[in-house]
Amino acid sequence: MKIAVIGTGYVGLVSGTCFASWGHDVFCVDKDIQKIRSLERGVVPIYEPGLDELIERNSAIGRLNFTCNLTEALKGAAIVFIAVGTPPRAEHGDADLSFVFAAIREIAPLIEDDTVVVVKSTVPVGTGDVVQKIIDSARKAGSFSVASNPEFLREGSAIRDFREPDRVVIGAEDERSRRVLTQLYTPPLAASNTPIVVTRRRTSELIKYAANAFLATKITFINELADVCEQVGCDVGELALGIGLDKRIGTSFLNAGPGYGGSCFPKDTMALLRTAQDYGVALRIVEETVSANEARKRRMALKVTDALNGDVDGRTIAVLGLTFKPDTDDMRDAPSLPLIETLQRFGARIRAYDPVGNENARQLMPDVKFHDDAYECARDADAVVIMTDWDNIRELDLTRLKRVMRRAVLIDLRNAFEPGLAEKIGFRVSAIGRAAVGRSEIDAMREMPNMRRQIRHDQLGRSA
Q: Which residues are catalytic?
A: 264
Is 215 or 234 the residue whose CB approaches ligand UDX more closely?
215
Selected from 88, 128, 262, 357, the binder of ligand UDX by CB under 6 A is 262
Instruction: State the nearest-atom distance from the C-beta of 201 to ligand UDX, in Å.
Output: 19
Annotated binding site: 30, 35, 86, 122, 152-155, 208, 253-257, 261, 267, 325, 332
Is 223 or 316 the residue whose CB approaches ligand UDX more closely?
223
Binding mask 214-233 for ligand UDX (x = CB under 6 A): -x---x--------------
Element (H, E) at 413: none
Is residue 213 near ligand UDX by the rule CB under 6 A?
Answer: no
Annotated binding site for NAD(+): 30, 35, 86, 122, 155, 267, 332
d(CA 304, CA 450): 24
- Rounded to 10 degrees, what is the CA torsion of 127, 131, 134, 140? -150
Report DSSP state, residue 380.
T
Is 96 or 423 the residue whose CB approaches ligand UDX more closely?
96
Selected from 178, 325, 351, 402, the binder of ligand UDX by CB under 6 A is 325
- Rounded to 10 degrees, what is the CA torsion of 57, 59, 62, 65? 150
Selected from 185, 214, 253, 370, the binder of ligand UDX by CB under 6 A is 253
Q: Which stretch binds ligand UDX (CB under 6 A): 61-69, 257-265, 368-376, 429-437?
A: 257-265
Instruction: State the nearest-atom distance from the C-beta of 70 to ligand UDX, in Å.
Output: 26
Is residue 312 near ligand UDX by the rule CB under 6 A?
Answer: no
d(CA 260, CA 290): 10
Is 111 or 261 the residue whose CB approaches ligand UDX more closely?
261
Of residues 80, 209, 77, 79, the one with CA closest to residue 150: 209
d(CA 356, CA 378): 17
- Rounded to 10 degrees, what is the CA torsion of 314, 320, 321, 326? -160
Selected from 21, 255, 269, 360, the binder of ligand UDX by CB under 6 A is 255
Q: Which stretch binds ligand UDX (CB under 6 A): 258-266, 337-345, 367-375, 401-409?
A: 258-266
What are the residues whose beta carbons fall under 8 Å from the beta carbon of 322, sequence distance 6 or more?
331, 334, 336, 352, 353, 354, 357, 358, 361, 387, 388
Is 99 or 221 the residue whose CB approaches ligand UDX more closely?
221
Instruction: State the nearest-atom distance from the C-beta of 216 to ligand UDX, in Å.
Output: 7
d(CA 405, CA 378): 6
d(CA 411, CA 387): 9
Cα end-to-end span (Å), the chain: 74
Task: Point out the residue whose Cβ comes nearest to ligand UDX.
Answer: 264
Looking at residues 264 to 303 of the shown chain, list those that interact with ligand UDX (rule: CB under 6 A).
264-265
- What is the side-by-side order of every strand in the sheet holding 428-431? 369-371, 349-353, 316-320, 383-386, 409-412, 428-431
Is 12 or 257 the residue whose CB approaches ligand UDX more closely?
257
Is residue 153 near ligand UDX by the rule CB under 6 A?
Answer: yes
Is residue 257 near ligand UDX by the rule CB under 6 A?
Answer: yes
d(CA 43, CA 36): 9
Instruction: State the nearest-atom distance from the C-beta of 219 to ligand UDX, in Å.
Output: 4
# binding residues, ligand UDX (CB under 6 A): 19
What are the residues whose beta carbons fall under 8 Å from the beta carbon of 192, sequence distance 6 or more?
164
Annotated binding site for substrate: 152-155, 208, 253-257, 261, 325
Instruction: State the nearest-atom distance from the C-beta of 276 to ligand UDX, in Å.
Output: 19
Selected from 16, 85, 261, 338, the binder of ligand UDX by CB under 6 A is 261
d(CA 116, CA 49): 31
d(CA 44, CA 99): 22
What are the residues whose beta carbons fall under 8 Å from the beta carbon of 349, sequence distance 6 or more?
314, 315, 316, 317, 369
Beta bridge partners of 171: 148, 199
d(CA 162, CA 317): 38
Is 210 or 404 the residue whose CB approaches ligand UDX more closely?
210
Selected from 154, 202, 362, 379, the binder of ligand UDX by CB under 6 A is 154
Q: Which stretch binds ligand UDX (CB under 6 A): 82-90, 169-177, 251-259, 287-295?
A: 251-259
- Chain contacts with ligand UDX (rule: CB under 6 A): 151-155, 212, 215, 219, 253-255, 257, 260-262, 264-265, 324-325
